Amino acid sequence: VWESTRHSASVRAPSRLRGGRSAPDRILWSVVSNTQGSHRAAPGARRDTETSRTGEISDIDETGRTDGTSRTDEARHAVEEPCGGDKERRLGDRPGRPGRPGRPDRPGRRRGDQESHWPDLRRLLPRALVVAFLAGGTSAFLVGDKAVELSVDGVPRTMHTFAGDVAELPADEGVAVGAHDIVAPAPGAGLVSGDQVVVRRGRPVLLTLDGHRRQVWTTARTVDGALRRLGVRAEGAALSVSRSSAISRRGLALDVRTERAVTFVADGRERTVRTNAATVDEALTEAGIALHKDDTTSVPRDSFPRDGQTIGVQRITSREQVREEVVPYDTVRTEDATLFRGTEVIDQPGRPGLRRVTYGLRTIDGIQQEPRVLHEEVVRAPVTQRVRVGTKELPTSMAGVDDLNWKGLAACESSGRPNAVDPSGKYGGLYQFDIATWRSVGGRGRPQDATPEEQTYRAKKLYMQRGASPWPYCGRRLTG
């Protein structure tokens, strides 16, 4: 009965039946009418009447009347008919009381009819309660059922639900709502028929924005929608995927390089470009600045250019230069006790060496930098000079030599001038020593640079060794 009534109510519940009564009233009157009619029916027909009641409810829903007479009149006649059957019968004619003069019967039912009427009313009451319960349940069913539209990620579907609020609807329909999902209206809002409930799934996005990486969540289904919701300025930006690309529930990795203003200072002037380049080197190319082999920038060329950044470009030229340089020789002095103090004898003359040096010459923005030695090669090694230095004390006098006319000899050779040098430059001093002779008697340096006393001393030594032969012309002055 419940399923049949529910089906009938779901199809025709909004309508009212003819005659001005609601469906439950018509059902009740139908039950009354059938009950009154069945109490006069044969006992065998009673079960058929009861089992066909559901069909009678359906017939009432569909037609409301079976013939030209209303159900109300039929029920009224069915109740009143037993009361007016034998109005003409007298008291004496009553069965069971023979011979007694009677008076006319009062209008009304006979006693036997009254007794048979009360059981019918007792049967009627439970049936009426069942019908009222069914009618009330149908009304409650119709009131609780709602037709709403549920849209999950843009896919709508219309459904009937008994959910009381927005939070119950996704759960009743098996739609799980995650922490990053969005439900609209708010989950606590009530539901009425005709409402629209939207569920947007959260999607993870690994966003790298201008070199900074972070994990974000979005309910947008496309890259373009995600950029708008995240507030990323995408005009002129470079994206790793197309803006129209779909974002699946698993998410995606997105690299965004926004447009930035970068200023380059090169060749004495500034150039500002707007670029979404990933490296300084790419931005230089967009600015039309070519770097040569040794040119450098103030920041690494593979670094990320920032908005408003100023980058300097240094023009560098480099070249190599080879030079030959003299390598000075070393002098080793050894003391000799056989030589008078101040006397030096060169045993091995020194000779300078030669080396070839390669220098790196560099200019930065036209300014010459300090040369750097790149390579060095010795072409000829220097020869060390070895000298013996006398340590013997000088004698205070020389017997037979001090009495010679040394002033006369000096006047003849150099006019008495200690620093005199002949025109050839080979001889010098008071006694016009050549270098070899001067050094042979222990002289140091040049004779013209020595003191007059030392020059005279060296001249006396030479005389003791060789006599007056070193002075072939002026030597006679010594004794004359």
Read off the pLDDT of residues 179-227 as tens digits, 9 standing for 90 and up: 888 888 888 787 888 788 888 888 999 998 888 899 999 988 889 888 9
Q: Which two tokens stand for residue 478?
A: 């010594």
Burial, 395: exposed, middle or buried (Cβ in 10 Å; 0-12, 13-18, 19+)?
exposed
pLDDT at 306: 92
pLDDT at 138: 45
pLDDT at 89: 40
In angstroms, rounded to a whole number, what is the distance separating the alpha carbons of residues 173 and 163? Answer: 10
- Around Cβ 110, how many Cβ atoms within 10 Å? 16
Q: Which two tokens stand for residue 180?
A: 């990053």
Report in angstroms the alpha-carbon separations of 263 from 140, 214, 267, 269, 472: 75, 28, 13, 10, 90
In angstroms, rounded to a whole number, what is the distance separating the alpha carbons of residues 461 and 387? Answer: 20
E strands, 123-249, are 146-152, 155-161, 182-184, 196-200, 203-209, 212-218, 238-239
CATH class entry, domain 203-257:
alpha beta
CATH 1.10.530.10 correct for 394-478: yes
The amino acid at 186: A
CATH class entry, domain 260-314:
alpha beta
Q: Say whether 260-314 and 203-257 share the same fold.
A: yes
pLDDT at 249: 86
Q: Which two tokens stand for residue 260?
A: 């930035």
Do 384 and 365 touch, CB atoms closer than 8 A? no
CATH class entry, domain 319-388:
mainly beta
Do 194 and 169 touch, CB atoms closer than 8 A? no
Do 257 and 278 touch, CB atoms closer than 8 A? yes
pLDDT at 390: 80
> How is residue 117 annotated by DSSP?
H
pLDDT at 398: 67
Q: Which two tokens stand for residue 31?
A: 């039950």
pLDDT at 338: 78
In angstroms, rounded to a whole number, what is the distance separating the alpha carbons of residues 183 and 195? Answer: 13
Domain at 146-200: CATH code: 3.10.20
pLDDT at 145: 77
Report the SS3 class of residue 55. Answer: helix
Entry pTM: 0.42
Residue ranges covered by each domain of the chain: 2-84+107-142, 146-200, 203-257, 260-314, 319-388, 394-478
DSSP string, 230-252: HT---TT-EESS-TT-B--TT-E
**Which residues does the chain have with pLDDT short of 70?**
1-144, 340-343, 394-399, 480
pLDDT at 343: 65
